[in-house]
């Protein structure tokens, strides 16, 4: 009886130990961890848009730009971001801020007023603070109504401009900041596109972009800031032929988007700089600018509880299909206009031929009349000469008779 009792006691003790270690293991294996943050729902607290004026994607790849490439590793990169025509400021910069083409926002020629709302005016209407930073005030003057704070340093280098602007940003931490670096465009105007001065200015701007990013990180706002790095337009070397490559140098610009609600380390198919303003409006939860024509880059965004990845792609495909329809309509209208113009040209050429024929006929008539007038002049002259001779002969005969009778 005693061995049986000890046996049961050992079994109970062993079972108790197993239960103890099992509970302890569960507690150690499953500690209470905080739930993972849904980045698709993370709000955007700041927006920083940095524009390299006069920097095409091809020019950027020809120089040293580590900051751009570092950001591109964790950002949404548009493979070929298409700018607008004409490739100049302020029209190109206005398209970036309004989401409208120059034909829509009205700045096709210098000194024409901006006739479209900017995304900065939309944010400002929501009570958000906005900051404009630029060295060439004339390039950004049409955008000035969308900013309460401004930092201008006329003809100042990118470093000096950044020194002053960063201090202003630290003091106020505005919701949206637009930084326009005009150094590459100025260097290109002075020495030419792809010159040593032009490429050196691009590298200098890249260093200042790194300083802005470092400033945001030091402020602890990097993960809450929507960062856009792009250019208004590119530049082609002087005297270059109008080939596809030269057109791309002016048309294709860099475009990176990094921040809340966006995917990381992905490359998107071609899009336009006019898509930036509408995408920013969607990401910050405000309405799009009134005259905006660009589309939202849905395929750049993270799926969330409200919409799946397939839903985002569906929206992008729908927008692109609508854009394709509009382009088809425009192409149809252009083809019809071309036919009308060709018909008018043919009519004008036919009228020109008729006028040439009429002119030649009239010239022949005029030549014949001139010859006739010339012969008449000769005839009149001959008649006059004969009359004079007759008068002389008659005078001589009368005089002879008069002398005979006398």
DSSP for 65-105, written as a single string: -HHHHHHHTTSEEESSEE--SS-STTHHHHHHHHS--HHHH
Q: How far apart are CA 230 and CA 180, in angstroms?
A: 10
Lowest-pLDDT range, 143-147, 235-239, 349-353? 235-239
**Per-residue model confidence (pLDDT) at position 9:** 59
Q: Is the pLDDT of residue 269 over 80?
A: yes
Residue 102 neighbours by CB under 8 Å, 6+ apart? 84, 85, 86, 91, 92, 94, 95, 108
**Per-residue model confidence (pLDDT) at position 47:** 98
pLDDT grade for 1, boundaries at 50, 70 and 90: very low
pLDDT grade for 397, boundaries at 50, 70 and 90: confident
Q: Is the pLDDT of residue 65 over 50?
A: yes
pLDDT grade for 31, boundaries at 50, 70 and 90: very low
Q: Is the pLDDT of residue 6 over 70?
A: no
**Per-residue model confidence (pLDDT) at position 29:** 42
Residue with tokens 């043919």, as numbered in its chain: 346
H/E element holding 335? helix 309-405
End-to-end CA gap in the chain: 210
**Per-residue model confidence (pLDDT) at position 5:** 46
Instruction: Indicate the length of the chain as a whole number.
Output: 406
Find out whether 78 and 124 touch, Cβ atoms under 8 Å.
Answer: no
**Per-residue model confidence (pLDDT) at position 4:** 47
Give the residue-averaged pLDDT of 367-382.
Answer: 89
Q: In 128-286, where do the E strands start and end? A: 130-134, 149-152, 176-181, 225-230, 252-253, 255-258, 266-268, 271-272
**Per-residue model confidence (pLDDT) at position 207:** 98
> What are the C-alpha distances in Å from 246 to residues 80, 87, 149?
15, 12, 38
Q: How far apart are CA 113 and CA 91, in angstroms?
A: 10
CA atoms lying within 13 Å on the CB side of residue 369 = 6
| pLDDT tens column, 206-261 | 999 999 999 999 999 999 999 999 999 999 876 666 777 888 899 999 999 999 99
**Per-residue model confidence (pLDDT) at position 267:** 96
Other Cβ atoms closer than 10 A to 93:
26
**Per-residue model confidence (pLDDT) at position 176:** 98
Share of the chain above pLDDT 90, in %: 58
| pLDDT tens column, 286-328 | 999 999 999 999 999 999 878 888 998 898 898 888 888 887 8
Lowest-pLDDT range, 70-74, 213-217, 282-286, 353-357? 353-357
**Per-residue model confidence (pLDDT) at position 214:** 98
pLDDT grade for 33, boundaries at 50, 70 and 90: very low
**Please, where are the H alpha helices in 233-308?**
244-251, 275-284
**Per-residue model confidence (pLDDT) at position 159:** 94
pLDDT grade for 24, boundaries at 50, 70 and 90: very low
Give the residue-averaged pLDDT of 58-66.
Answer: 94
| pLDDT tens column, 164-200 | 999 999 999 999 999 999 999 999 999 999 999 999 9
Q: Which residues pair with 46 in a beta bridge?
A: 225
What's the pTM value of the predicted model, to 2 decimals?
Answer: 0.78
More confident residue, 35 or 11: 11
Question: What mean pLDDT, rounded, does the chain reach?
Answer: 88
Q: How far apart are CA 41 and CA 301, in angstroms?
A: 11
**Per-residue model confidence (pLDDT) at position 20:** 53
């Amino acid at each position: 009886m005693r061995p049986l009792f000890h046996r049961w006691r050992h079994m109970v003790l062993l079972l108790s130990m197993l239960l103890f270690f099992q509970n302890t293991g569960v507690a150690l294996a499953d500690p209470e961890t905080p739930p993972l943050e849904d980045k698709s729902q993370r709000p955007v607290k700041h927006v920083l848009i940095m524009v390299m004026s006069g920097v095409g994607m091809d020019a950027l790849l020809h120089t040293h730009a580590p900051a751009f490439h570092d950001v591109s590793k964790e950002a949404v990169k548009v493979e070929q971001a298409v700018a607008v025509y004409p490739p100049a400021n302020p029209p190109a910069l206005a398209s970036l801020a309004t989401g409208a083409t120059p034909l829509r926002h009205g700045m096709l020629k210098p000194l024409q007023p901006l006739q479209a709302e900017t995304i900065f005016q939309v944010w400002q209407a929501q009570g958000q603070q906005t900051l404009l930073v630029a060295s060439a005030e004339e390039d950004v003057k049409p955008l000035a109504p969308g900013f309460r704070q401004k930092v201008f340093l006329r003809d100042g280098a990118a470093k000096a401009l950044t020194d002053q602007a960063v201090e202003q940003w630290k003091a106020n931490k505005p919701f949206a900041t637009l930084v326009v670096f005009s150094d590459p465009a100025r260097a290109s105007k002075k020495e030419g596109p792809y010159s040593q001065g032009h490429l050196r200015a691009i590298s200098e701007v890249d260093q200042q972009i790194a300083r802005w990013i470092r400033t945001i990180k030091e402020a602890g706002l990097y993960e809450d800031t929507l960062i856009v790095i792009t250019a208004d337009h590119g530049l082609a070397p002087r005297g270059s032929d109008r080939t596809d490559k030269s057109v791309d140098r002016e048309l294709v610009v860099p475009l990176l988007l990094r921040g809340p609600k966006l995917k990381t380390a992905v490359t998107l198919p071609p899009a336009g700089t006019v898509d930036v303003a509408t995408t920013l409006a969607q990401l910050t939860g405000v309405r799009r600018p009134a005259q905006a024509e660009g589309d939202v880059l849905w395929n750049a965004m993270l799926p969330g509880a409200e919409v799946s990845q397939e839903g985002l792609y569906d929206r992008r495909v729908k927008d692109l299909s609508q854009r394709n329809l509009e382009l088809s309509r425009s192409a149809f209208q252009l083809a019809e206009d071309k036919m009308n113009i060709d018909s008018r040209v043919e009519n004008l050429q036919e009228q020109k031929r008729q006028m040439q024929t009429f002119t030649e006929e009239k010239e022949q008539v005029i030549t014949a009349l001139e010859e006739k007038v010339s012969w008449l002049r000769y005839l009149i002259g001959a008649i006059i000469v004969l009359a004079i001779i007759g008068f002389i002969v008659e005078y001589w005969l009368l005089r002879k008779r008069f002398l005979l009778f006398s």
